Structure 1
Amino acid sequence: MFLLEAGSAAFQISQVAYHFCQMMEYFHICVSYGPEWHPLQWNRAIGEKYAESWEHVLYLPQERKTRLFWRLTRSHQDFSERTLSPVVIARVWLELSKSEINNAVRQREEGELVRAHNSLMNCLHPFETAKKYTLSIEGGEKFQIEEEVGGVGEQISSLEVTLESGKLRQQGLALLRETMDAEDFDVEKVWLVTDYLKQAILKARASDLESELIATAEIGRVFGCLQLKEVAKVYYRQVIDNAEAMKPRIVHSEYWYQMAMNGLIEIRGAYWEQEEKKRMEQKKPILEKLKPELDALAEAEKKNVYEFLAYLFEKHPPKVEGWEKPAKIDVSTGKIICRKACGWYHPDKNQASKFGPEWEVLCEEILKMVSKKYQIFKE
């Protein structure tokens, strides 16, 4: 003898077996002894045992639940039709359909799209059967069952779109990997990848926003690899903007959102680097011309902060409006003056359009030195 832990899968299966066997025993007694053994309480007892069997099935783990659903419904469908109301039968088939949908959702999240599609196909028969029995229901429960059936139907339609979009996306990414691994890079295949991803976007549009955004992020990544930064930027921007529609769900940690955000950061960094390189090329002749002044400033920078500021104001006084030379630069005023000097020599206040390119470049170099000196006061 051994005891089964209450709530365990084995316990639930034993309860299913117990109630189902009792139900079948009642049923066979009724059939064997004729109409006189068919009073209302017997029919009610049979129905209750049948319902209790299903109740315990619902507590089972997903895989076992699905298998038992199929066995019970297929083996005893004729019995259930003769003994149970359409409401009970419709709910049973509806639960089986939901079970397969849950399987499909879980498999999709695990990336097993083929298995998810098979599970979705498995849910169609019980769903259609539930719809059939719903037509036979009368009274107040009809509306409730119809509402449940409608909700499950929407789930099926949405999941079907998601899986189709995911399948197209997977096909495109598989082709991309194949192309990248090949010895001879074929750019035409990469364009075919973008076609797959565009189809995935269109398939999911207006039905599954997340699937649409996943495909959008992926196509942005492909265009980024092709060095079409402007095109990639458009797709990445769409992901970030449209993700707002998914609130209150927080999507910032989702891989597709991170892909889009990192892609935008990378593109901005590339643009900044390119602009900075161009700017340095433009600054190069000016820096050569300013070399004597910059060398003298470098020597003055070796002195303490107070002497450096005094030299700076003497040789290169700020040109900002309202500036006056400080009367005293020492321990009591040095920190404040140094902080203000960062503003006086900031390039935004010393633009080439007003003071000439040489002064703007000189102020940039001075600001670096002043900022470095100001760090002394923070230590």
Structure 2
Amino acid sequence: MSASPSATFRHEGNRMYKSVCLEGLSPVIQLERLQKARNLYSRAYNSDGNLDEQCSAAKNVAQCEWRIGKIHILRKQKEETVVHHFKEALRHYQYAFLHGDKCKDSQWISDLKSKYSDCVDDLESFFSDFSLAIRIRYLSQIANLMSDSVPEVTANVYLRLTEHNFHEGINAWQKGDYLKCKNQMAECHFPMHEARRYGHGQCDILQEIDVLENDVHMHMCIAESSKSRQTGDELLERATRYYETVDINMVWEIIDWYKQAILLARELDIEQEAIAMQRIGRVYAKVLKFKPQAKEYYKRAIQLAVSMAPRIFTAYDWYIECSEMLKKYQEETIVHEQEQQDKEREKIKEEIKVELEEIKTNHEKKTNIDFLLYVYKTYPPKNTSLQMEKDAKDNMKKAFQKAILHYHPDKSEPEKNGMKWKVLTEEITKFLTKRYECFKFDTN
């Protein structure tokens, strides 16, 4: 009984394919013979043979296309040419898989699966030197050729596609292209879903997908947060540079964008949250001129930075601005408080002008011991129960030292004893110190 046309073409193709394995053949001759073998196998595949013969021919075509692609890699041909042959190989492997289980034994299917997996690995290895964008483009094309026949291989392809999209998004975020980062994270969802679907029985695949899913969600929120902050920055730049008068509605819109950035980054990226806090502080400080709110947001940004220890941000612009503005506000507060105290002090001095004149007069006219007696009797110290010692005249230097301690303004406790007492102690201490200067170099 004569062989079928499909079997005849396959037999001729096998003879040509085996001749490729001869030692010493140049890649050009190998390529020429593989192409001839491929053409014969293709004729066998397209002939009116039975399903068994078609599956065998499809496997043979795939084998030839795979080897042709590998030779093109060695010859550094264009990537499109290489990918075309690998795609043809995978397409024919797919046909053999889809129909082979109806007419082939398990060993044949197992061998086919091994070759299919190795072909995909070789293609991924070829992609490794290309940019992520190119890898994503070609892996997407490859993924579209795959089916349920070899779920573990298909799951791995979709997993790699998810990883490439994720890392492309990370690269975009590091360059400040937050919109692209957000889009790349969104591109992860479909391949991630497909990887989970095809890899439902593979624990290692599912574990990697779980980790990726969390990372994608986190960086999606971070990208949206960064984009919101960027939008706020652009509006703030426009509001402060291009408008003569501040549009208060735009200012509140800017603050809303920064608040949205805070909410999106919360518990995911403390640094992004802190930067958004600093931006709101800037709006209150430099646009609305409202120091209490500005101070509060600057302070919260610093607190978040401190919580990220041992990381330090002293060289970062946003941290430097927070530190400098808080220092400025602190200095202004000190100056303001001092001014208020000076005003209150002057007012009190005017109220007790007679008493102050009397203290001054007694200082000018009385002896050391008499002045001490006058001070202790007229204005008994409030921070001690001790009075002037009886033998003070025997050690006047020591008596003045103790008197200065009793009446020192730092111990006047104005919150408890009132500002009037503080002013009195300042004046009394001033005169006590002048008299003490006379004893400064006395060693007795």
TM-score by length of 1: 0.63
* 1:17 and 1:53 in contact (8 A); partners too: no
How many angstroms apart in 2 are the aligned matches of 1:31 and 1:252? 57
The two structures, once aligned, show a CA RMSD in angstroms of 5.2
Structure 2 residue aligned with 1:181: 241
Residues 369 and 237 (structure 1 numbering): CA distance in 2 closer, same or farther, change over 3 Å? farther
Which has the greater radius of gyration? Answer: 2
Q: Supply the distance in 1 between the matched residues of 2:254 and 2:281 (Cα, whole angstroms).
A: 12
Which residue matches 2:220?
A: 160
Deviation at residue 145 of structure 1 after TM alignment: 1.8
Shift of 1:149: 2.0
What's the counterpart of residue 350 of structure 1? 412
Residue of structure 2 in register with 1:47 after alignment: 117
Q: Could you give the per-residue CA deviations for residues 270-321 of structure 1, whole angstroms, max 9, x where no partner exists? A: 2222121111122236668569989x99xxxxxxxxxxx99x9899789453
Following TM superposition, by how much is the alpha carbon of 1:27 offset from its aligned partner in structure 2, in angstroms? 8.1
Amino acid of the residue matched to residue 356 of structure 1?
W
The AA in structure 2 aligned to 1:54 is E
Residue type matched to 2:171 in 1? Answer: N
Q: Does 1:250 align with 2:321?
A: no
Give the alignment partner of residue 362 of structure 1, picking from 421, 424, 427: 427
Q: Deviations over 1:328-347 (max 9, x none)?
A: 699xx9xxx98x88855542
Partner AA of 2:272 in structure 1? S
Structure 2 length normalisation: TM-score?
A: 0.56
**Residue of structure 2 equivalent to 1:194:** 255
User: Percent of pairs identical after alignment?
Assistant: 19
Q: Tell me the distance in 1 between the aligned counterparts of 2:413 and 2:83.
A: 93
Q: State the partner residue of 1:70.
A: 136
Q: Secondary structure of 1:250's match?
A: coil
Residues 48 and 238 of structure 1: is their aligned pair in 2 closer, same or farther, counting only changes over 3 Å?
A: same
In the other structure, the counterpart of 2:198 is 136
1:269 matched to 2:331: yes
1:88 counterpart = 2:188:
no
Residue 105 of structure 1 pairs with residue 170 of structure 2: no
Give, as a single letter, the amino acid of the residue that structure 1 aligns with 2:339: K
Structure 1: distance between partners of 2:71 and 2:178? 30
- Matched pairs, number: 330
Conserved? CA contact 1:240–1:261, under 8 Å: yes
**Residues 28 and 343 of structure 1: CA distance in aligned 2, closer, same or farther (over 3 Å):** same
CA distance in 2 between partners of 1:363 and 1:15 (Å):
102
CA contact (8 A) 1:197 1:215 kept: yes
**How far apart in 2 are the matches of 1:368 and 1:250?**
51
Distance 1:283 1:15 in 2: 95
C-alpha distance in 1 between matches for 2:237 and 2:430: 48
CA contact (8 A) 1:97 1:127 kept: no
C-alpha spacing 1:342/1:182, structure 2 compared with 1 (3 Å): farther
Structure number with higher relative contact order (C-alpha < 8 Å, ≥ 6 residues apart): 1
CA contact (8 A) 1:120 1:160 kept: yes
Task: Give, in whole Å, the separation in 2 of the partners of 1:329 and 1:15.
Answer: 109
Q: How far does residue 216 in structure 1 lie from its aligned partner after superposition? A: 2.2
Structure 1 residues without counterparts, runs of 5 or longer: 1-13, 298-308, 373-379
> Are 2:266 and 1:211 aligned?
no
Q: Distance in 2 between matches of 1:119 and 1:292?
A: 79
Q: Do 1:26 and 1:46's aligned partners in 2 also have CA atoms closer than 8 Å?
A: no
Alpha-carbon offset, residue 66 of structure 1 = 0.5
**How far apart, in 2, do the equivalents of 1:119 and 1:192 lie?**
24
1:145 to 2:205 alignment = yes
Asked if 1 retains the 8 angstrom alpha-carbon contact of 2:178 and 2:226, the reply is: no
Q: Structure 1: how far apart are the matches of 2:254 and 2:434?
A: 51
How big is the shift at 1:364?
A: 7.4
> Equivalent of 1:122, from 159, 184, 196?
184
Shift in CA distance, 73/15, structure 1 to aligned 2, threshold 3 Å: farther
72 and 137 in structure 1: CA distance in 2 versus 1, 3 angstrom threshold = same
Gaps of 5+ in 2: 1-69, 438-444
